[in-house]
Amino acid sequence: MSDIKQLQDFTTQVRRDILRMVHAVNSGHPGGSLGCAEFLVALYQDILNRKSEFNMDGIGEDVFFLSNGHISPVFYSVLARSGYFPVADLATFRKINSRLQGHPTTHDNLPGVRMASGSLGQGLSVAIGAAQAKKLNNDSNLVYVLTGDGELQEGQNWEAIMYASAKKVDNLIATVDLNGKQIDGSTDEVLNMGNIKAKFEAFDWEVIEIAKGNDIEAILNGMSTAKYKTGKGKPVCVLLHTEMGNGVDYMMHTHAWHGKAPNDELLAKGLEQNPETLGDY
């Protein structure tokens, strides 16, 4: 297991990156990005069995798909600071001709990005296909995918959930960012999905819950349990209970910062709450 303090410091720097990236272009999605910072840091710095050189085929390593692509700021920050491309590239976020578009794309061959994820609801289907390909290739590594809870309102997910269990895709770990918020309000108000755990279990998935989804140690322990559950005939779902906007007090406990950038004053306030640890770009 990695040093918890180092992972926490890494996460603090990622939060700074997120704030600075969306502020610079006055657009982007800081809320969900901040909420998933601990998870993606833990994933790329500890959990994934990944190669140092990126290859799209992903043979011989774990692969990750970001389905809720609007949280690209946290994805780009973690990828850059994990060595996939220069950290300085973060300054090009959402700018014309940048490889770091608002939603990740593959046509510019940005290392670390395996699928275009602008339209919600598709990532789980792609991940299932990749997991089945690994089985065909006798590759024992795992496939990970992250989706949003509001994203589960898309019907394609439930076809994929049904398919994965029926075909015993047991080398798959699907994590749901369960923050209870989406762009128009709470998920319960927009379209109440009821008991998500019970639904996955009804579709014959193994379900793990991480109640403290913004706690590095809880994430590492929960994902270790999820990994242990693979290879036993069922796909694995991790329900990650997070707080949208985590680590920036004025962005927490509200959906208002789902897709809104801070002004100069609020940027400074957010950066004060997250002192530099690894160096800004």
Residues 6+ apart with CB under 8 A from 87: 80, 81, 281
How do residues 158-189 score in pLDDT, each as one tens digit? 999 999 999 999 999 999 999 999 999 999 99
- pTM of the prediction? 0.97
How do residues 19-73 score in pLDDT, each as one tens digit? 999 999 999 999 999 999 999 999 999 999 999 899 999 999 999 999 999 999 9
Here the tokens at position 93 are 């976020």
How do residues 68-115 score in pLDDT, each as one tens digit? 999 999 999 999 999 999 999 999 999 999 999 999 999 989 999 999
- Domains by residue range for the chain, with CATH: 4-272 (3.40.50.970)
Q: Which residues of 68-86 are buried (b: 16+ CB within 10 A; e: fewer)?
A: bbbbbbbbbbbbbbbebbe
Are the C-beta atoms of residues 246 and 41 closer than 8 Å to each other? no
The candidate with the shortest Cα–Cα distance to 237, out of 263, 201, 267, 262, is 201
Angle in degrees, 0-180, between the axes of helices 4-25 and 216-229, rounded to the nearest 10: 100
